[in-house]
Amino acid sequence: MLALSQPIQPQTADRRLAVQAIGLHKSYGTGASAFLALDDVSIDIAENEFFTLLGPSGCGKTTLLRLIAGFNFPTNGQILLRGKDIAALPPFRRPINTVFQNYALFPHMSVAENIGFGLKMLGWTKSRSVDRVAAMLKLVRMETLADRRTSEISGGQQQRVALARALAPQPEVLLLDEPLSALDYKLRKEMQVELKRLQTETGITFIFVTHDQEEALAMSDRIAVMNRGRVLQVGRPREIYNAPVDRFVADFIGESNILSGRLVGQAAADAHQVRIAGAVATAYGKAGTSGDGTVQVLIRPEHVDVLDSPSSDCIPAVVEDEVFVGTDTRLQLRLNDGSTFTARLTNSPEQEKIRTSGTQVWLRIHSHSARLLGGDHVQHR
């Protein structure tokens, strides 16, 4: 079990920064109809990092990506690339390339011509460009399809061409705008591994935009969770999953039970005794100071044991439904304060136990796994 009480190490202190966003605002329209797409966003992204912008549609992640690419310009704020402000530069002057959601391959060019386009625009010599295109084709395993038209290859292959085209000019930063969303499940899983490999092999900073939290957890070095134009939390996948700063992040990443509790005492600097549905548990994190002592506690479905007899500090619950999903069994439970709770139990043949609806059980929360959620949206850098 990961010890969550450890202070979170700053990730960027000893590494050079590739991209810094400082106080970015972006609004569309004016007056009453104005829409604030980015609201005071500040982010540091280190060199050679696989950094993911994660959030629901309309959260501002694509807007932020387009500002970094130079397709749009911020209303306010700075964008630094290796310390230099690039916010006013047009996209063709930025050493940053993009993999577009719909790939945006040039339909009137072959695969090789597409990959060589950036090099041609940069004025590379023909022979140097040919070598580079060949190396890129090899990198994405498309050597045999160099002369095909882009309309003659599959979606997964188009994806690889788009990657090779964006990587060919050796950009300092590669931006990826939901590049896997058009692929089917199996291909998407393959491409996740492939992208991770490309990032490691090329050593280029990747900034990846997605709304798929599973994808973000699987691929990223660090994740910035965004909502309503703001960055809510930045951290490693484990931090984001285990120690979300607020209810939105907890809800958006993974499955969660968010319960109301009441503070009854303090156990340590960042550990509090909380009464939840008739039992007292230790919850970690900062307690929200406002209000009447009511706090929100996050408990992941896999962080409880389900007992058939009462035990101290266990939460009583009644089984409402049981769903077998292969590796796991999901128990749908109701607590005595009326709230629902989902528990996920790992299946194994010798331990299999059928609990019918109405069975009384007791939940034991794993140590260090109940988290206090701050109600306010604190921005963590």
Partner 1 sequence: MAASQHAFDLKAQPGFSIIARLAIVALYLPILILVVFAFNATSSLGVWGGFSFDWFVKAWHNDLIINAALFSLFLATVAGVLATVMATMAAIAMTRTDAYRGQLVSYALINQPLIVPEIVTAISLLIVFAAVKSATGYSGTGYLVLAHTAFCIPFAYLPIRARLEGMDLTLETAAADLYADPWKAFLHVTLPRLAPGIVAGFMLAFVISLDDVVITDLVKSGGQETLPTYMLGQIRRDMTPEVNAAATMLLVPSILLVTAVHLINRKK
Using the rule CB under 8 A, give the single segment among 116-124, 199-207, 285-293, 335-343 that binds partner 1.
Answer: 116-124
Shortest spacing between CB 282 and partner 1, in angstroms:
51
Q: From the list 41, 69, 87, 250, which residue makes contact with partner 1 (rule: CB under 8 A)?
A: 69
Per rule CB under 8 A, is residue 218 in the interface with partner 1?
no
Shortest spacing between CB 118 and partner 1, in angstroms:
4
DSSP for 247-295 reads HHHHHHSS--EEEEEEEEEEEETTEEEEEETTEEEEEESPPP-SSSSEE
Residue placing its CB nearer to partner 1 in the complex, 148 or 189: 148
Q: From the list 10, 28, 88, 102, which residue makes contact with partner 1 (rule: CB under 8 A)?
A: 102
CB 16 within 8 A of CB 47: yes
Per rule CB under 8 A, is residue 33 in the interface with partner 1?
no
Contacts of 35 (CB under 8 A, 6+ apart): 27, 28, 29
Q: From the list 97, 158, 199, 210, which residue makes contact with partner 1 (rule: CB under 8 A)?
A: 97
Shortest spacing between CB 24 and partner 1, in angstroms:
20
Shortest spacing between CB 108 and partner 1, in angstroms:
5
Cα(119)–Cα(135) distance, integer angstroms: 13
Per rule CB under 8 A, is residue 34 in the interface with partner 1?
no
**CB count in 10 Å sphere of residue 270:** 15
Per rule CB under 8 A, is residue 118 in the interface with partner 1?
yes
Cα(328)–Cα(343) distance, integer angstroms: 10
For the segment 157-176, give every residue that binds partner 1 (CB under 8 A): 165-166, 169
Per rule CB under 8 A, is residue 206 in the interface with partner 1?
no
Q: From the list 104, 182, 258, 263, which residue makes contact with partner 1 (rule: CB under 8 A)?
A: 104
Quick one: residue 358, left, alpha or beta (phi over 0 = left, psi -120 to 50 = alpha)? Answer: left
DSSP symbol at 379: -
Beta strands in 141-213 (DSSP E): 173-177, 205-210
Residue placing its CB nearer to partner 1 in the complex, 60 or 70: 70
Per rule CB under 8 A, is residue 122 in the interface with partner 1?
yes
Cα(299)–Cα(163) distance, integer angstroms: 39
Shortest spacing between CB 41 and partner 1, in angstroms:
21
Per rule CB under 8 A, is residue 125 in the interface with partner 1?
no
DSSP H stretches of helix in 172-278: 185-202, 213-219, 237-242, 247-252
Q: How many residues contact partner 1, by CB under 8 A?
A: 24
Enter the tokens of residue 47: 């060199």
Per rule CB under 8 A, is residue 108 in the interface with partner 1?
yes
CB 98 within 8 A of CB 86: no
Return the C-alpha torsion angle 325, 326, 328, 334, nearest 10.
30
Q: From the list 52, 62, 63, 98, which residue makes contact with partner 1 (rule: CB under 8 A)?
A: 98
Q: What are the residues binding partner 1 (CB under 8 A)?
A: 69-71, 90-92, 96-98, 100, 102, 104-108, 117-118, 120-122, 165-166, 169
